[in-house]
C-alpha cells in the first residue's frame, strides 16, 4: 500500500533510533494515509490516498 498523500505529497520519513547505549538502528516513521473516495472539483468521484492531517484540515470532500 502506498504511503504517499495525494493532496500534500507527504511521504514516510526515515531516521535512526538511538538506544540508551547509543546503538543506532534504522527507523521509518510512516504516514497515516487512508484510501478513500473523494469528490473532485469537476464534480466526479475519485479514489485517493489522503493523510489524516489533510482530512482534518478539510482539504478534501468525502464522497
CB 14 within 8 A of CB 27: yes
In this chain, which stretch among 19-27, 36-44, 50-58 interacts with Zn ion, using CB under 5 A?
50-58
11 binds Zn ion (CB under 5 A): no
Angstrom distance (rounded) from CA 23 to CA 33: 30
To which residue does cell 521509518 refer?
A: 28
Are 39 and 32 a contacting pair, CB within 8 Å?
no
Query: Which CB sits closer to Zn ion, 17 or 58?
Result: 58
Rule CB under 5 A: say whether 8 interacts with Zn ion: yes
Nearest approach, Cβ of residue 6 and Zn ion (Å): 8
Give the binding site for Zn ion (CB under 5 A): 5, 7-8, 10, 51, 54
Amino acid at each position: 500500500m502506498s504511503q504517499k498523500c495525494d493532496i500534500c505529497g507527504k511521504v514516510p520519513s526515515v531516521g535512526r533510533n538511538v538506544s540508551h547505549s547509543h546503538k543506532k538502528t534504522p527507523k521509518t516513521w510512516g504516514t497515516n494515509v487512508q484510501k478513500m473516495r473523494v469528490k473532485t472539483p469537476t464534480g466526479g468521484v475519485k479514489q485517493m490516498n489522503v493523510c489524516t492531517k489533510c482530512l482534518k484540515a478539510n482539504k478534501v470532500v468525502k464522497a
